[in-house]
Amino acid sequence: KARKRFGQNFLQDESIIRRIIRAINPKPEQHLVEIGPGLGALTEEILDATGRLDAIELDRDLVPILRTKFFNYGNQFTVHEADAMRFDFQQLIQDDRPLRIIGNLPYNISTQLIFHLLSHSHIIEDMHFMLQKEVVLRLAAGPGENNYGRLGIMAQYFCKVENLFLVPPSAFHPAPKVDSAIVRLVPYKTLPYPAKDHQLFQQVVRTAFGQRRKTLRNNLKELIDSDALERIEIDPNLRPERLSLADFVKISDYLADIKG
């Protein structure tokens, strides 16, 4: 029986499963990591196509089911009974192969988990997630769009973001109340807009979106005054959702310079 507290909605639509596997396109020499494999709807096809798969599953009742089901794959398959939010992904790196992360994520933890994974983006080749449609729209949104905000900016700072396709509630059992979508995040090898100080950049973005309906002048007043914003050609009367990623980097770099 599916457990609500673990955000369990199991994929049952074979054509959607095939479409997801095609989008991921696993290859024999690759190292995949599946977050929340559940009953293994995506797992088997991935195992057939790839070199190695580590699965991270929090529900301890599912762990033995997965181990039994995929026993034949021997060392190729490992289940970690763990919380993906606290999981150290670095420990999975054994050779030089970067990780390809996949997961039909529990919706209640998806944004926090993405922030956690972004901090590991140097060891990640790409990520494919099933998420609530709104979260995918937020990840992919640009300046001025409704869903644009901190999540999209931080994701786009580290990754190229692609909204791949929609998945209707009927593809799952039990059916969730919301539409879902598949997103691909590909970490940049070289960041297009590197900030001089990553921590400071994150702080600027978080503070700028403190209150969406307020201007930059108000949201950022503890960090930078409006004269300084004007000096770097950013209008302090704008709302944060008007600024591009490059603008946020500019503010952060200005602050990094005066901090010395």
Applying CB under 6 A, the residues found at the interface with ligand SAM are 6-11, 35-38, 41-42, 56-59, 62, 83-85, 104, 106, 109
Nearest approach, Cβ of residue 46 and ligand SAM (Å): 10
In this structure, the number of other CB atoms found within 10 A of the CB of residue 118 comes to: 19
**CB-nearer residue toward ligand SAM: 62 or 185:** 62
**CB-nearer residue toward ligand SAM: 47 or 234:** 47
Nearest approach, Cβ of residue 192 and ligand SAM (Å): 31
Query: Is residue 90 within 8 Å of 116, Cβ to Cβ?
Result: no
**CB-nearer residue toward ligand SAM: 135 or 224:** 135
**CB-nearer residue toward ligand SAM: 57 or 247:** 57
Q: What phi, psi does 86 have (nearest 5°)? A: -110, 5
**Strand ranges in the chain using DSSP code E only, listed in sequence order:** 10-11, 31-35, 52-57, 77-81, 99-104, 124-132, 159-167, 172-173, 180-187
How many residues are listed for the chain in this entry? 260
Nearest approach, Cβ of residue 122 and ligand SAM (Å): 22
Nearest approach, Cβ of residue 199 and ligand SAM (Å): 25
63: Cβ–Cβ under 8 A, 6 or more apart, which residues? 57, 79, 81
152: Cβ–Cβ under 8 A, 6 or more apart, which residues? 138, 139, 140, 141, 142, 161
**CB-nearer residue toward ligand SAM: 11 or 205:** 11
**CB-nearer residue toward ligand SAM: 37 or 187:** 37
Nearest approach, Cβ of residue 13 and ligand SAM (Å): 10
Taking CB atoms, the residue at the shortest distance from ligand SAM is 36
Query: Is residue 121 within 8 Å of 187, Cβ to Cβ?
Result: yes
Nearest approach, Cβ of residue 56 and ligand SAM (Å): 5
As beta bridge partners, residue 181 has 131, 166
Query: Is residue 43 within 8 Å of 67, Cβ to Cβ?
Result: no
Query: Is residue 162 within 8 Å of 184, Cβ to Cβ?
Result: yes
